Structure 1
Amino acid sequence: MKIDKRAADMEKHALRFATTAHGAQLRKYDGQPYIVHPVAVAEIVRSVPHTPEMIAAALLHDTVEDTDVTLLDIKESFGATVATLVAWLTDVSTPFHGNRAARKALDRAHTALAPPAAKTIKLADLIDNSRSIGSADPHFWTVYREEKRLLLPLLMEGDATLWAMASELVA
């Protein structure tokens, strides 16, 4: 089996970049280093048909939202394809846009327009977050699950296996 050196290098670079960007951040629900989540998302994406850019974007998917990293930083380090995927995976709402329900509606409208590759990564993110939140925070799980039930119909262009898995998790 031939290993694609470019893909392996991109993945290693994305992992280092995301690890540095997230620094000492911890996961809210289990206290683990934050990087555990992007790695889990990348592994879920790896389980279905994917590209090297999708794996890199999975590793980087929260960097713009949760760190000082910009989309320009992503583009300069990983190219336009990865930056575009990360842009589709980054919430567009801000506190200025209203309460949580209003912000999530705006983010869903953004996600609805995303390409299938971004929707596949979003499904992997939803799967990993559902597993963590569902077991660690039953109160918030009810809110999160309802938000994801509203999101799922918009992700049908993503990978069918991941869509079925996500659908089962939020059922």
Structure 2
Amino acid sequence: MEAAAFNDNFTETELKVLAFVTEKHGQQKRKYTHEPYVNHLVRVALKVKEYTQDSRMVMAALCHDVLEDTECTVAELYQFLIGINLTDADSDYICFLVKELTDVFTSDAYPQFNRKARKELEANRLWEISPEAQTIKYADLIDNTTSIVQHGGGFAKVYLKEKKRILTKMDKGNLELYQIVSSIIEIV
């Protein structure tokens, strides 16, 4: 997927962020579809763009997995954002959103907890993130749910149960997107 293919959908600055995350995610593929990982990031960002005029949220959506799934650090992301002439405040805000969207209760960080316990802790954390981060998370859940239900086999049932739990109290983001993701998770 070439960044130039999105010139009509993204601003020049958003395209620079897309190029950055494309490089960081490298040859990563989606688990079930084996498509380039960046396709997921683009779909999430475009969904967010449908519901907000805030380009910082779109850029955070593009970056939402970069801390979790690559070697990129918050400092590196911040320096990149400053380097493309974003203000300190905008760079801080984007990094703040990306950090909110990054899983904390991973198996590597909390090996003493089983998946169910980690997912419960993560749900509690997500209930408290900003409305803007919750909006991005809704777009992420929409894209992930579609893929997992189509291709995830038996794991889809576990995934849907976990996401229904998250959505019980992760309801401060964009109401329309919340209703869409809730209906998708309930229907399937």
Instruction: Provide the TM-score with structure 2 as the length reference.
Output: 0.84
The gaps in structure 2 that reach 5 residues or longer are: 1-9, 82-90
Please state whether the residue corresponding to 1:13 is helix, strand or coil.
helix
Letter matched to residue 120 of structure 1: T
Match of 2:164 in 1: 149
Aligned to 1:40: 43
SS in 2 for 1:114: coil
1:122 paired to 2:137 = yes
2:29 is matched with: 26
Deviation at 1:73, TM superposition (A): 1.5
Give the CA deviation at 1:101: 1.0
Give, in angstroms, the shift of residue 49 of structure 1. 2.1
Cα distance between partner residues in 1 of 2:14 and 2:169: 28
Deviation at 1:155, TM superposition (A): 2.2
Aligned position for 2:87: none
Residues paired across the two proteins, number:
165
SS in 1 for 2:154: helix
* In 2, Cα distance between equivalents of 1:49 and 1:9: 17
Alpha-carbon separation, structure 2, partners of 1:122 and 1:163 = 10
Q: Distance in 1 between matches of 2:76 and 2:127?
A: 25
Report the equivalent of 1:51.
54
Corresponding residue number in structure 1 for 2:104: 92
Contact 1:123 1:155 in 2 (8 A): no
Q: Which residue of 2 aligns with 1:138?
A: 153
Q: Indicate the residue corresponding to 1:3 in structure 2.
A: none
Match of 1:110 among 117, 125, 134: 125
Shift of 1:138: 2.7
Are residues 114 and 135 of structure 1, via their aligned partners in 2, closer, same or farther at CA, if it must alter by over 3 Å? same
Deviation at 1:149, TM superposition (A): 0.2
Match for residue 80 of structure 1 among 92, 98, 112: 92
Query: Is the CA contact 1:74–1:82 (under 8 Å) kept in the aligned structure 2?
Result: no
Identity %: 38
**Ranges in structure 1 where 5+ consecutive residues have no aligned partner:** 1-6
Matched, 1:61 2:64: yes
RMSD: 1.3
